[in-house]
Amino acid sequence: MTGEHPIEMIDLRKEFKGFVAVDDLTLKIEKNSFTGFLGPNGAGKSTVLKILTNLIGATSGNAYINGADVSKEYKTALEGVGTVVETPEFYPYLTPREVFSYTGEIFGMNKESISSQTEEILSDMKMAEWGDKRIGTFSKGMKQRISIGIALMNDPSLIIFDEPTSGLDPRGMAETREILKGVRNKSKGLTVLMSSHDLHEVTDLCDRVAMVNHGRLLLHDRTAAVTGSNMTRRIGLRMINGPTDSAVSQISSLANVESAAVSGNTIEVRFTGNDGDQLRFFNDVGSLGLGVFNLHEIEALESVYLSLIAETR
Amino acid sequence: MTEDCFSDNIRQTRVVMKYEFKKYSRGKMLIIFAMLMGLVLVMSTALTWLDGGFDNGSADLAFSYASSLQFLILLGATLLVSGTIVSEFEDRTALALFTKPIKKWSIYFGKFFIACIVGFMFVFIYYAIMAAICLAATGSLPSTILVSMGLALAFMFGMAGLAIMFSSMAKKFSIAAILTFASVLMVAQLISSMLYANAIDPWFMIDIAGASINGSILGADSMLWRDTAVMLVWGLVACAAGYITFRRRGL
C-alpha cells in the first residue's frame, strides 16, 4: 500500500454466522476529502467503520489507514486517527479535562500540548465552563461534543465519524453539525469519513459521497457530481391558492417532467435532467403564471439515494 | 512510533492504571467494600470480646480476625475486579478507549494490575489493623502474621485473576459478579467436598489453598509454599484465559 489514500479497503468482507455484512468492498477515500458514507440500516456502514477502528476483525480482505494494515498493525494505523464511533460513553467519574488528558497521554502527548489542546478544544466545543464537571451529569449532546473533542485531541490527519448526530435532539444535532463545519473549516489537510442517515447533513458537510447497500459499494463520487447528475430529482412547488388539477396538468406537460402529483399543500414533481434543465424548468413554471411562490428541490441526494437503494433492494 | 515499541506499550499500561485508579478512588464499590471491611473488623472485635478472646494469646486473637479474610477477599474481588472489563462493553466506554492506538494487553493488564494493587492495599490495611489490635490487647504480635499476610495477598491475586476472567467473558457486570462469587463460594467448595468424599486430597483447589490464610496463623499448615503456588497459578491461568477471551471479543 502506498498510503496515497488515507483509507483503503480492498475486497473487505465481514460475515456474521453466514450473514454477509460487508461483501468484498473496495473503497479508497481521497486525501483531504470530507466523505459521507451512506446506506440504509444494515447496509454495512457501521461494520466497515468498526473494522477500520479495530473494534472487530474482518473475515477477509484488507483495510489500510495511512498505509498501515488495521488488522496487523492497528496501533500504527490508528496513530493519526480521531474516531467517534456511534455514541460512546465516558467514565462518568471523570471530567472532560481528565478525559482529554487520558486521551492525550495514550497518544504520548506532553503535558503542555495536552493542556493547550484541551483548552482550545473545550473552547471550540463550547464546553469551557463544563471542563471540570463530571461527565456522568452531561446530556447526550454534551457527551457527543466531548467525543468529537477527543477525536481532535491528537491533531489527527483523519477522522472517522459514525453517525455523529444520531440520537440527538434537533438542538443537539444542529450544534454538532456546526461543530463539524468548524472542524472542516479550521483543519487544513484533514480527511473525514462520516457515516450518516441524514442526507441533508451529508449534502451540507461532505464534498464526496460513498453509498453502500448489502455491504457493496453502489457509488463513490463528488457530492456535486452526484446531486447535479442527470438523474431523477424531486421538486416541490407551492402556490398562493394551493395546488389545483389544472396546475398539475400544465406542469406535467413541461419538458423533462416525468410526473406531477399533489402532495399535501405542494405539487411534487419528478424531474429528470441536469442543473441546466432544472433552471429551464424553473423559468417555464414562472411563465405559466400559476402563482408559484415557492420552488424547492426535495433533497437531490435523497432522490439519487432512493433510486440506487431501490435498484439494489 | 513502531508497532513493536514495547516501552511505549508499558507507558500506555501505566496511563490505563492511573485512570483506573481514579475510577476506584471515585467509585462506589471502593466505599462499599471499605464499609464491609470495617463491619467485619467491628464484628470480629465484638465477638472476640464477648467470647473472652482478648485474654488468649496474640495468635488466637489474630486467628479470629484472619478467619473472615478469605470471604472478605472473595467479596473484594467480586466488587472491585469483576466489573473492570465487562463494564467497558456494557457502558460503551470501549467505543472511546478501544479505538485509540493502544494494545489490548496494555488495557487488560493495566486494569488487572491496578485491581490487584487496590486489593493488596485492602489486605495491608486489614493486617495493619489486626496487628494494631493484637499489640494493644496482648502486647505482642504472632510470629506467623506476615506469612498469613503473604498467603492473603496470593489469594487476592488468585481471586483477581478469576474475577477478571469472568469479567472478560460475561456480557453484564451482574453476571460477572455472580460468577466470581459463586465460583469459589459454591462451585469450588462443592468440587472440593466431592473430592474429599472420594478420598482425593483437593490441595489444588483455590478455596482449599486459601484456607491456609488463617491456618498459617496457628502454624497448622505445613504446605505453605504449595498453597501459595496453587493460588498464584489459579490467578495466572485465569488471567491469561481472560486475556485470550478479551482479545477475541468484538463490539
Asked if B3 lies within 8 A of A73 by C-beta distance, the reply is yes
Determine what percent of chain A falls in helix, strand and coil, rounding each to the nearest 5: 40, 30, 35
> Is residue A180 over pLDDT 70?
yes
- Selecting from A76, A91, A107 the residue whose C-beta is nearest the C-beta of B3 gives A76
Cite the residue boundaries of each domain of chain A with CATH code 3.40.50.300: 7-226
Average pLDDT, chain B: 91
Split at pLDDT 50, 70, 90, the class of A11 is very high
- Selecting from A99, A106, A150 the residue whose C-beta is nearest the C-beta of B15 gives A106
Q: In this structure, which topology does domain A229-311 adopt according to CATH?
A: Alpha-Beta Plaits (3.30.70)
Is B151 buried (19+), middle (13-18) or exposed (0-12) by CB count in 10 A? buried
- Selecting from A50, A57, A79 the residue whose C-beta is nearest the C-beta of B1 gives A79
| B21 vs A contacts (CB less than 8 Å) | none
* pLDDT at res. A183: 82
Cite the residue boundaries of each domain of chain A with CATH code 3.30.70.100: 229-311
What secondary structure letter does DSSP report for A30?
A: P
ipTM over 0.85 threshold: yes
Mean pLDDT of B132-156: 92
Average pLDDT, chain A: 88
* pLDDT at res. B2: 47
* pLDDT at res. A187: 72
Residue type, A297: E
As a whole number of angstroms, the distance between CA B191 and CA B205 comes to 8
The enclosing H or E element of B120 equals helix B104-138
pLDDT tens digits, B198-239: 989 999 999 999 999 988 988 876 788 999 999 999 999 999
Q: Does B93 touch chain A (CB under 8 A)?
A: yes
**Chain A, 53-82: which have a CB under 8 Å from a chain B CB?**
53-57, 73-79, 81
> Is residue B10 over pLDDT 90?
yes
Domain boundaries, chain B: 6-248
As a whole number of angstroms, the distance between CA A285 and CA A279 comes to 10
pLDDT tens digits, A12-25: 999 998 899 999 99
Mean pLDDT of A289-293: 89
Comparing B6 with A304, the larger pLDDT belongs to: B6
Pick the CATH number of A7-226 from 3.40.50.300, 3.40.50.1820, 3.30.300.250, 3.40.50.10470: 3.40.50.300
Mean pLDDT of B150-160: 96
Mean pLDDT of A284-306: 82
* pLDDT at res. A231: 66
| A99 vs B contacts (CB less than 8 Å) | 96
Range in A40-49, A169-178, B40-49 with the lowest mean pLDDT: A169-178
Treating both helix axes as pointing N-terminal to C-terminal, what angle do B145-169 and B104-138 enclose, rounded to 10 degrees? 150
Give every strand in the sheet of A257-263, ordered side by side. Answer: A257-263, A266-273, A231-239, A292-298
Reference B73, options B118, B113, B132; nearest CA is B118
**Chain A, 115-134: which have a CB under 8 Å from a chain B CB?**
none
* pLDDT at res. A3: 63
Split at pLDDT 50, 70, 90, the class of A313 is low
Q: Are A61 and A44 in contact (CB under 8 A)?
A: no
Backbone angles phi, psi at A218, to 5 degrees: -100, -35
* pLDDT at res. A309: 77
Which residue in B86, B99, B251 has the most chain A C-beta atoms within 10 A of its own C-beta, making it the best mutation to test that interface?
A: B99
